[in-house]
Structure 1
Amino acid sequence: MIFGIGTDLCDAGRMKKSLTRQSFVNHVFSPQEQDQLNTLHGKHRAESAAANFAAKEAFLKAAGTGLGGFALPELAVLRRESGAPFFALTGTASAWAAANGLTVHVSLSHEAGLASAVVILEQQEMDQNR
Protein backbone atom coordinates (compact mmCIF):
# COMPACT_ATOMS: atom_id res chain seq x y z
CA MET A 1 0.00 0.00 0.00
CA ILE A 2 1.24 3.53 -0.76
CA PHE A 3 2.24 5.38 2.40
CA GLY A 4 3.27 8.59 0.62
CA ILE A 5 4.43 10.13 -2.64
CA GLY A 6 6.73 13.12 -2.98
CA THR A 7 8.26 15.04 -5.85
CA ASP A 8 10.71 17.92 -6.05
CA LEU A 9 12.82 20.00 -8.46
CA CYS A 10 16.23 21.54 -7.88
CA ASP A 11 18.19 24.01 -9.99
CA ALA A 12 21.63 22.58 -10.84
CA GLY A 13 23.14 26.05 -11.28
CA ARG A 14 22.16 27.02 -7.76
CA MET A 15 23.48 23.70 -6.49
CA LYS A 16 26.82 24.30 -8.24
CA LYS A 17 27.26 27.50 -6.21
CA SER A 18 26.22 25.77 -2.98
CA LEU A 19 28.75 22.98 -3.53
CA THR A 20 31.57 25.52 -3.12
CA ARG A 21 30.71 25.75 0.60
CA GLN A 22 31.92 22.68 2.50
CA SER A 23 29.59 23.53 5.39
CA PHE A 24 26.63 23.14 3.00
CA VAL A 25 27.99 19.87 1.60
CA ASN A 26 28.45 18.42 5.11
CA HIS A 27 24.99 19.61 6.20
CA VAL A 28 23.20 18.03 3.22
CA PHE A 29 25.21 15.03 1.99
CA SER A 30 26.40 11.88 3.77
CA PRO A 31 30.07 10.89 3.53
CA GLN A 32 29.11 8.15 1.03
CA GLU A 33 27.26 10.68 -1.15
CA GLN A 34 30.22 13.05 -0.96
CA ASP A 35 32.52 10.22 -2.10
CA GLN A 36 30.27 9.52 -5.09
CA LEU A 37 29.91 13.22 -5.95
CA ASN A 38 33.68 13.70 -5.75
CA THR A 39 34.14 11.24 -8.62
CA LEU A 40 32.12 13.59 -10.86
CA HIS A 41 33.15 16.93 -12.31
CA GLY A 42 31.58 20.13 -13.60
CA LYS A 43 28.03 19.92 -14.86
CA HIS A 44 27.65 16.24 -13.96
CA ARG A 45 28.59 16.84 -10.32
CA ALA A 46 26.11 19.70 -9.94
CA GLU A 47 23.32 17.78 -11.69
CA SER A 48 23.83 14.68 -9.55
CA ALA A 49 23.98 16.73 -6.35
CA ALA A 50 20.81 18.58 -7.38
CA ALA A 51 19.06 15.27 -8.10
CA ASN A 52 20.11 13.94 -4.68
CA PHE A 53 18.86 17.10 -2.99
CA ALA A 54 15.54 16.87 -4.86
CA ALA A 55 15.23 13.23 -3.76
CA LYS A 56 15.75 14.18 -0.12
CA GLU A 57 13.05 16.87 -0.37
CA ALA A 58 10.73 14.42 -2.14
CA PHE A 59 11.33 11.86 0.63
CA LEU A 60 10.41 14.39 3.30
CA LYS A 61 7.22 15.27 1.40
CA ALA A 62 6.30 11.60 1.02
CA ALA A 63 6.97 11.03 4.73
CA GLY A 64 4.85 14.05 5.64
CA THR A 65 7.52 15.39 7.98
CA GLY A 66 8.67 18.52 6.21
CA LEU A 67 12.23 19.81 6.38
CA GLY A 68 12.63 19.18 10.09
CA GLY A 69 11.78 15.49 9.85
CA PHE A 70 15.26 14.00 9.58
CA ALA A 71 18.84 15.17 9.19
CA LEU A 72 19.51 15.33 5.46
CA PRO A 73 22.68 13.18 5.58
CA GLU A 74 20.51 10.36 7.04
CA LEU A 75 18.73 10.30 3.66
CA ALA A 76 21.70 9.23 1.53
CA VAL A 77 20.95 8.86 -2.18
CA LEU A 78 23.50 6.53 -3.72
CA ARG A 79 23.91 4.77 -7.07
CA ARG A 80 24.14 1.07 -7.79
CA GLU A 81 26.83 -0.16 -10.17
CA SER A 82 24.19 0.03 -12.92
CA GLY A 83 23.63 3.71 -12.09
CA ALA A 84 20.20 3.12 -10.55
CA PRO A 85 19.59 5.38 -7.54
CA PHE A 86 18.58 4.11 -4.12
CA PHE A 87 18.21 5.46 -0.59
CA ALA A 88 20.60 4.27 2.11
CA LEU A 89 18.81 5.46 5.25
CA THR A 90 20.63 5.78 8.56
CA GLY A 91 19.88 6.99 12.08
CA THR A 92 16.36 8.08 12.94
CA ALA A 93 15.28 7.93 9.29
CA SER A 94 16.22 4.25 9.09
CA ALA A 95 14.49 3.48 12.39
CA TRP A 96 11.35 5.36 11.32
CA ALA A 97 11.18 3.55 7.97
CA ALA A 98 11.65 0.15 9.64
CA ALA A 99 9.04 0.90 12.33
CA ASN A 100 6.54 1.82 9.62
CA GLY A 101 7.40 -1.16 7.39
CA LEU A 102 8.43 1.08 4.50
CA THR A 103 10.24 0.36 1.26
CA VAL A 104 11.57 3.45 -0.50
CA HIS A 105 11.42 3.82 -4.28
CA VAL A 106 13.17 6.73 -6.04
CA SER A 107 13.46 7.96 -9.60
CA LEU A 108 15.78 10.81 -10.65
CA SER A 109 16.11 12.86 -13.82
CA HIS A 110 17.87 16.00 -14.99
CA GLU A 111 17.54 18.13 -18.10
CA ALA A 112 18.25 21.74 -19.05
CA GLY A 113 19.68 22.68 -15.66
CA LEU A 114 16.87 21.18 -13.58
CA ALA A 115 16.96 17.97 -11.58
CA SER A 116 13.81 16.17 -10.49
CA ALA A 117 13.00 13.34 -8.14
CA VAL A 118 9.97 11.24 -7.35
CA VAL A 119 9.83 9.18 -4.16
CA ILE A 120 7.24 6.56 -3.30
CA LEU A 121 7.08 5.13 0.20
CA GLU A 122 5.50 1.69 0.05
CA GLN A 123 4.18 0.23 3.29
CA GLN A 124 4.07 -3.51 3.77
CA GLU A 125 0.65 -4.85 4.75
CA MET A 126 0.53 -5.16 8.51
CA ASP A 127 -0.98 -8.26 10.10
CA GLN A 128 -4.21 -7.02 11.68
CA ASN A 129 -4.39 -10.07 14.02
CA ARG A 130 -1.33 -9.14 16.08
Structure 2
Amino acid sequence: MIYGIGTDICDIRRIASTLERRGERFAQKVLGERELEVWRARSARAASRGLAYLATRFSAKEAFSKAIGMGMRMPMTWRSCEILNVPGGKPVIHLNGELAAWFAERRLRAHVSVTDETDYATAFVVVETND
Protein backbone atom coordinates (compact mmCIF):
# COMPACT_ATOMS: atom_id res chain seq x y z
CA MET A 1 0.00 0.00 0.00
CA ILE A 2 1.28 3.47 -0.82
CA TYR A 3 2.21 5.51 2.25
CA GLY A 4 3.20 8.65 0.35
CA ILE A 5 4.42 10.11 -2.92
CA GLY A 6 6.80 13.02 -3.34
CA THR A 7 8.20 14.86 -6.31
CA ASP A 8 10.57 17.78 -6.69
CA ILE A 9 12.10 19.85 -9.46
CA CYS A 10 15.26 21.79 -8.81
CA ASP A 11 16.80 24.57 -10.87
CA ILE A 12 20.44 23.52 -11.30
CA ARG A 13 21.42 27.16 -11.85
CA ARG A 14 20.18 27.95 -8.34
CA ILE A 15 22.26 25.10 -6.91
CA ALA A 16 25.28 26.39 -8.87
CA SER A 17 24.78 29.87 -7.49
CA THR A 18 24.54 28.60 -3.91
CA LEU A 19 27.59 26.40 -4.40
CA GLU A 20 29.51 29.37 -5.78
CA ARG A 21 28.59 31.54 -2.77
CA ARG A 22 29.02 28.93 -0.03
CA GLY A 23 31.55 26.54 -1.55
CA GLU A 24 31.93 23.01 -0.29
CA ARG A 25 30.09 23.92 2.94
CA PHE A 26 26.85 23.76 0.96
CA ALA A 27 27.61 20.26 -0.30
CA GLN A 28 28.59 19.21 3.23
CA LYS A 29 25.23 20.42 4.53
CA VAL A 30 23.20 18.54 1.92
CA LEU A 31 25.22 15.35 1.30
CA GLY A 32 26.01 12.43 3.59
CA GLU A 33 29.54 11.06 3.86
CA ARG A 34 29.25 8.52 1.02
CA GLU A 35 27.52 11.05 -1.22
CA LEU A 36 30.30 13.57 -0.55
CA GLU A 37 32.90 11.07 -1.78
CA VAL A 38 30.99 10.58 -5.04
CA TRP A 39 30.40 14.34 -5.43
CA ARG A 40 34.10 15.12 -4.96
CA ALA A 41 35.14 12.44 -7.46
CA ARG A 42 32.62 13.59 -10.08
CA SER A 43 33.49 17.26 -9.52
CA ALA A 44 37.19 16.47 -9.99
CA ARG A 45 36.45 14.90 -13.39
CA ALA A 46 34.05 17.64 -14.53
CA ALA A 47 32.44 20.42 -12.51
CA SER A 48 29.17 19.96 -14.41
CA ARG A 49 28.97 16.29 -13.37
CA GLY A 50 29.45 17.18 -9.72
CA LEU A 51 26.85 19.92 -9.98
CA ALA A 52 24.28 17.60 -11.57
CA TYR A 53 24.95 14.99 -8.87
CA LEU A 54 24.43 17.54 -6.09
CA ALA A 55 21.23 18.84 -7.70
CA THR A 56 19.70 15.38 -8.14
CA ARG A 57 20.48 14.48 -4.52
CA PHE A 58 18.99 17.77 -3.31
CA SER A 59 15.84 17.13 -5.34
CA ALA A 60 15.54 13.48 -4.22
CA LYS A 61 15.81 14.41 -0.55
CA GLU A 62 13.11 17.06 -0.97
CA ALA A 63 10.88 14.50 -2.72
CA PHE A 64 11.54 11.91 0.00
CA SER A 65 10.69 14.39 2.76
CA LYS A 66 7.38 15.08 1.01
CA ALA A 67 6.62 11.37 0.54
CA ILE A 68 7.02 10.69 4.26
CA GLY A 69 4.98 13.79 5.08
CA MET A 70 7.57 15.57 7.21
CA GLY A 71 9.30 18.15 5.17
CA MET A 72 12.72 19.01 6.53
CA ARG A 73 12.11 18.54 10.23
CA MET A 74 13.34 15.96 12.68
CA PRO A 75 14.05 13.18 12.30
CA MET A 76 14.39 14.07 8.60
CA THR A 77 17.66 15.88 7.95
CA TRP A 78 19.68 16.39 4.79
CA ARG A 79 22.50 14.11 5.93
CA SER A 80 20.32 11.36 7.46
CA CYS A 81 18.99 10.51 4.00
CA GLU A 82 21.49 9.44 1.34
CA ILE A 83 20.70 8.70 -2.29
CA LEU A 84 23.23 6.09 -3.38
CA ASN A 85 23.56 3.94 -6.47
CA VAL A 86 23.71 0.16 -6.62
CA PRO A 87 26.38 -1.28 -8.98
CA GLY A 88 24.00 -1.25 -11.96
CA GLY A 89 23.35 2.47 -11.40
CA LYS A 90 19.86 2.31 -9.88
CA PRO A 91 19.42 5.00 -7.20
CA VAL A 92 18.39 3.79 -3.75
CA ILE A 93 17.59 5.57 -0.51
CA HIS A 94 19.77 4.77 2.49
CA LEU A 95 18.73 6.19 5.86
CA ASN A 96 20.83 6.81 8.96
CA GLY A 97 20.27 7.45 12.66
CA GLU A 98 16.89 8.51 14.03
CA LEU A 99 15.35 8.69 10.56
CA ALA A 100 16.30 5.05 9.87
CA ALA A 101 14.69 4.00 13.17
CA TRP A 102 11.54 6.05 12.47
CA PHE A 103 11.26 4.53 8.99
CA ALA A 104 11.82 0.94 10.23
CA GLU A 105 9.24 1.32 13.03
CA ARG A 106 6.61 2.04 10.41
CA ARG A 107 7.79 -0.83 8.20
CA LEU A 108 8.24 1.42 5.18
CA ARG A 109 10.26 1.06 2.01
CA ALA A 110 11.09 3.68 -0.57
CA HIS A 111 11.67 3.83 -4.31
CA VAL A 112 13.40 6.77 -5.98
CA SER A 113 13.98 7.99 -9.51
CA VAL A 114 16.18 10.95 -10.42
CA THR A 115 17.00 12.70 -13.67
CA ASP A 116 18.65 15.89 -14.84
CA GLU A 117 18.86 18.03 -17.93
CA THR A 118 20.85 21.17 -18.63
CA ASP A 119 18.93 23.45 -16.24
CA TYR A 120 16.79 21.15 -14.08
CA ALA A 121 17.02 18.10 -11.86
CA THR A 122 13.92 16.18 -10.84
CA ALA A 123 13.13 13.36 -8.48
CA PHE A 124 10.15 11.16 -7.77
CA VAL A 125 9.78 9.06 -4.61
CA VAL A 126 7.18 6.46 -3.67
CA VAL A 127 7.06 5.19 -0.09
CA GLU A 128 5.16 1.97 0.60
CA THR A 129 4.11 0.15 3.71
CA ASN A 130 5.28 -3.43 4.04
CA ASP A 131 1.88 -4.57 5.32
The verdict on a shared fold, with TM-score over 0.5 as the criterion, is yes
1:44 CA drift (Å): 1.4
Q: Which residue of 2 aligns with 1:109?
A: 115
- Give the aligned length: 125
CA distance in 2, matches of 1:35, 1:81: 16
Deviation per residue, 1:21-51 (Å, 9 max, x gap): 2222221110100001111122111111111
The 8 Å contact of residues 9 and 54 in structure 1, kept in 2 or not, is answered as yes
CA distance in 2, matches of 1:122, 1:99: 13
Q: Which residue of 2 aligns with 1:128?
A: none
Deviation per residue, 1:39-69 (Å, 9 max, x gap): 1122111111111100000001001101224
What percent of counterpart residues are identical?
34
Query: Counterpart of 1:87 in 2: which secondary structure?
Result: strand
TM-score, length basis structure 1: 0.90
4+ runs deviating over 4 angstroms: none
Query: Counterpart of 2:79 in 1: which secondary structure?
Result: helix
* 1:75-114 equivalences in 2 (<5 Å): 75-114=81-120
CA distance in 1, matches of 2:19, 2:101: 29
Unaligned 5+ segments in structure 2 are: none
CA distance in 2, matches of 1:2, 1:59: 13
Question: Of 61, 70, 73, which residue of structure 2 is paired with 1:68?
Answer: 73
Unaligned 5+ segments in structure 1 are: 126-130
One-letter amino acid of the structure 2 residue matched with residue 108 of structure 1: V
* 1:3-42 equivalences in 2 (<5 Å): 3-20=3-20, 21-40=23-42, 41-42=46-47
Deviation per residue, 1:81-107 (Å, 9 max, x gap): 211111110011111110010111000
| Structure (1/2) with the larger helix percentage | 2
Q: Which residue of 2 aligns with 1:53?
A: 58
CA distance in 1, matches of 2:66, 2:90: 21
Greater Cα shift, 77-86 or 113-122: 77-86
